[in-house]
Each structure stands twice: as structure tokens, then as C-alpha cells.
Amino acid sequence: MKQFWSVSAALVLFVNLVALSVARDDKKDASKDKADKAKVSEQSNSPKETPYYPLQIGNTWSYRIGDNRYSLKVAKYEKVGDLNCARLEMVVNGKVVATEDIGVTDEGLVRAAYDDKKAEPPLLFFKLPPKKGDTWTVDSIVGKTDKTPGEKVKGTFKMGEEKLQVNGKTFDAFTSSTQDLDANGMKLSFTYFFVQETGMVKQIIDVASQKVVIELEKFDRTKK
């Protein structure tokens, strides 16, 4: 599973909730003022909205991979470069194993960073508005610094439509797929299935002659 999780960490998304502690009664006003300022800052960094990936803070997706399970949760909003993003965490057995920053541009959904490694330019993985037959290419470098050249990610994507069943529920989904992704020399193909007001309900990954199927078990949406 080690190889799978390394690939999954580079392709899926996740979250981190920051707990605020309230001190003594005489510090309540200061704590409230701090929280209000944090909320304003948070809102100013919030990404554009799209029904195909609801990115409100606290939203949590629970997924199943065979007998294994993990969750993705929107932890907070932050900027990656000039792009407003939602930071997600992947949680396995109560432990955060990966993070990802997702933004919404005029082109669509993009991944701006993986485990705090910036993708330049951000990787477009789902076109908006979705339209069957649309294609595009990605050509990015992830994690480039003054000391390291980063990892190249290159490939072609295509949009599609499909009616599918996941855990007994029927969905009308738009698909985003690539058959030729080269992630720093690792060849893989995968397909995302996105549904309005829910986000990703399924993902199929083919890598190193292994097929991995990820399916949504539950989506917990935070109350506005």
C-alpha cells in the first residue's frame, strides 16, 4: 500500500482543523476579537465557489478502497501564490498523511500544491463549466526550489459524462480522465467522477499494472 498512498497523496485532497482555545473569563473579549479577525482573514482567502466541488470549511468526504478507508476534510482557506485555495487533509486512522491546496480558476478546478510543494503552474484537473469532449494538457513542475528542480507532471485530460452507481446510489456524473499522465517518470492513468453538490464520488487509478478504485461512502456538509 506504500506505493498507492504516495500516488494517492499526489492526486487526492485533504484537511486540517485548527482548534481555538478560550482562556479565562477576563480574556474572552480578546479571544473573540482574535477569532473574528481570523474569520475575516479566512473569508478573504476563500476560493471561488463551484457546485462540483463544495469547498466550505469543515466539509468531509469519507472514502472506501476495498477494506481500507480514509477521509478528506476542508481545513482552512489560504493563498498559494496569488490563488485563493482550500486546504484539504487526507486522514487515515485518525492521522493526517497528506495535504493539498485546491483552487477554482476561470478554467476550472486546479491543484496548487501537494504537501506544501507548489505546482507551477497549478494543475487543471476538472474543466468548468464541464462539457463532454473538452480536452486540455497539463505541464507543471511540483516542488521546485532554489536547491531542487522539482518533479515534472505532464499529460492530457478529457471530459466525459456517465451515469454510475456508488454504494447503491445512482449519480449523473461528469468525468475527468487521463490515460497518459507522466509524474516524474511514473506512468499512470486515472478517472475522476464528480457530481454537483457533492464533489468526487469515485476515482479509478491505474498505476504499475495495478487498478485502484476509490468510492465515496459519505459526504458530511458543514452547515452554513
The string of pLDDT tens digits covering residues 43-76 is: 678 999 999 999 999 999 999 999 999 999 999 9
In whole angstroms, how far apart are CA 210 and each of 5, 69, 156, 206?
A: 13, 18, 21, 6
Q: How many domains does the chain have?
A: 1
Q: Which residues in 115-166 belong to E strands, given as ranges?
A: 117-127, 135-142, 151-166
Residue 209's pLDDT band (cuts 50, 70, 90)? confident
Yes or no: say if 177 and 148 are a contact pair by the CB < 8 Å rule: no
Is 21 contained in some domain?
Answer: no
Is 25 contained in some domain?
Answer: no
Yes or no: say if 209 and 50 are a contact pair by the CB < 8 Å rule: no
Is 23 contained in some domain?
Answer: no
Say which residues have a Cβ less than 8 Å from residue 36's Cβ, sequence separation at least 6: none
Is 62 contained in some domain?
Answer: yes
Q: What pLDDT is stored for residue 213 in this prediction?
A: 95
Is 39 contained in some domain?
Answer: no
Q: What is the pTM of this model?
A: 0.80
Would you state the cell numbers that stand for residue 161, as one nine-digit string? 459524462
CATH number, residue 158: 2.40.360
Query: How many other CB atoms are there within 10 angstroms of residue 156's CB atom?
Result: 13
| Spatial CA neighbour of 88 closest among 56, 120, 66, 117 | 56
Is 135 contained in some domain?
Answer: yes
Q: What pLDDT is stored for residue 22 in this prediction?
A: 24
Is 191 contained in some domain?
Answer: yes
Enclosing domain of residue 165: 2-16+51-220
Is 37 contained in some domain?
Answer: no
The string of pLDDT tens digits covering residues 180-197 is: 999 888 899 999 999 999
Query: Would you give the distance in Å from CA 49 to the centre of its chain?
Result: 14
Q: What pLDDT is stored for residue 124 in this prediction?
A: 97
